[in-house]
Amino acid sequence: MSAPKILITEPVPQKVIDYLGNMGEVLVAEKGIYNSELQLKKDIRDFDALLCMLSTPVTNAVLEEAKNLKVIANFAVGYNNIDVKAANELGIKVANTPDVLTEACGDFAMALLMATTRHFYDAEKYLRKGEFKGWEPLGFLGMELRGKNLGIVGMGRIGKAFATRAKAFGMNIFYHNRSSISGTDEKELEATFIDTIEELAQRSDVLSLNCPLTPETYHLVDNHILELMPSNSILIDISRGPVVDEAALAEALHKGMIGGAGLDVFEEEPNVHPRLLTAPNCTMLPHIASATYETREAIGMLAANAIIQVLRGDKDEQIPNLVFA
């Protein structure tokens, strides 16, 4: 029997490629080639396994062409780029990679909040342009975090990791979730559950989005929520771009309805709403919350392990992070 063929839709850490190479024939595509449904439809029929990115559209049309495909492993926590229902019906296993991003993303959320509240980008740009002429009493005044209210939407692993860090800065933790977290976790984080996103928005000096993208969370933060937020408040999003209505956010920033925003994800990645590009106090970074050597390698190895275990025929209950069995 010939060795299985494995497609990796863009470059990943070499350790992951070498590991999968022990199982079969590995093709690593150049970045961007498989951002197209059309290209993936043409090529997918040759492969037994797929290691893909959030930017890879694994649609029903793609899966119907995947005659040999046995497993899809997403190089991400979520899987909103994959038609899981269609994969399920075709008997194709789907895996994602939670847990290993938690600490890196918790660190990053705190850094993004600091950069936004203390105007790091504008201050650095000011210095690089040669405009710094000495210390100024009123130069780049920002928000102090101690004693401020942090509202977290989505108190999963990453939300809790961010809350832990924010608590160390002296912030008060509030959160909205589909259900409240355990009493033990609430006590440890000194976190208060809020029933509605509307009340959370009204009470938060910082509103952080740490929820998955679902039909219920699409444009969760829209003009209505932005109008409820205090005028000096900060929005942080490291979840998924479409959780925020970018046009509404851009308008709110330009009008001074809120104090600022820190964004690592965008509604139409890699495109950014043009009005956001000129918005005041908007820190924007290119989807790098998990970008540490350790984390990206761990993500790849978790995905690779799922692929190998499925190709080996291991029982589903022994394969971690399968979306369905």
Quick one: 149 and 116 in the same domain? yes
Residue 58 lies in a domain: yes
| pTM confidence score | 0.92
Residue 263 lies in a domain: yes
Task: Give yes or no: 240 in active site.
Answer: yes
3-class secondary structure for the chain? CCCCEEEECCCCCHHHHHHHHCCCEEEECCCCHHHCHHHHHHHHHHCCEEEECCCCCECHHHHHCCCCCCEEEECCCCCCCECHHHHHHHCCEEECCCCCCHHHHHHHHHHHHHHHHCCHHHHHHHHHCCCCCCCCCCCCCCCCCCCCEEEEECCCHHHHHHHHHHHHCCCEEEEECCCCCCHHHHHHHCEEECCCHHHHHHHCCEEEECCCCCCCCCCCECHHHHHHCCCCCEEEECCCHHHECHHHHHHHHHHCCCCEEEECCCCECCECCHHHHCCCCEEECCCCCCCCHHHHHHHHHHHHHHHHHHHHCCCHHHCCCECCC
Quick: pLDDT tens for 128-171: 999 999 999 999 999 999 999 999 999 999 999 999 999 999 99
**What pLDDT does 73 receive?**
97
Percentage of the chain with pLDDT > 90? 94
Quick one: 147 and 265 in the same domain? yes
Residue 325 lies in a domain: no
Residue 311 lies in a domain: yes
Quick one: 36 and 91 in the same domain? yes
Q: Could you say which of 119, 176, 203, 240 is catalytic?
A: 240
Quick one: 161 and 39 in the same domain? no
Residue 192: CATH number of its domain: 3.40.50.720
Per-residue confidence band for 1, with pLDDT thresholds at 50, 70 and 90:
low
Quick one: 120 and 257 in the same domain? yes
pLDDT exceeds 50 at position 325: no
Quick one: 72 and 212 in the same domain? no
Quick one: 125 and 201 in the same domain? yes
Per-residue confidence band for 78, with pLDDT thresholds at 50, 70 and 90:
confident
Task: Give yes or no: 294 in active site.
Answer: no
107-111, 197-201, 314-318, 321-325, range with the lowest pLDDT: 321-325
Residue 324 lies in a domain: no
**What pLDDT does 317 receive?**
81
Quick one: 119 and 268 in the same domain? yes
Residue 312 lies in a domain: yes
Residue 266 lies in a domain: yes
Task: Give yes or no: 246 in active site.
Answer: no
Q: Could you say which of 199, 251, 269, 297 is catalytic?
A: 269
Quick: pLDDT tens for 164-186: 999 999 999 999 999 999 999 99
Quick one: 118 and 148 in the same domain? yes
What average pLDDT score do residues 255-268 get? 97
Per-residue confidence band for 324, with pLDDT thresholds at 50, 70 and 90:
low
pLDDT exceeds 80 at position 323: no
Quick one: 75 and 124 in the same domain? no
Q: The domain containing residue 134 runs over which residues?
A: 102-284
Quick one: 161 and 90 in the same domain? no
pLDDT exceeds 70 at position 42: yes
Residue 323 lies in a domain: no
Mean pLDDT of the chain, nearest integer? 96
Number of domains forming the structure of the chain: 2
Quick one: 108 and 154 in the same domain? yes
pLDDT exceeds 70 at position 72: yes
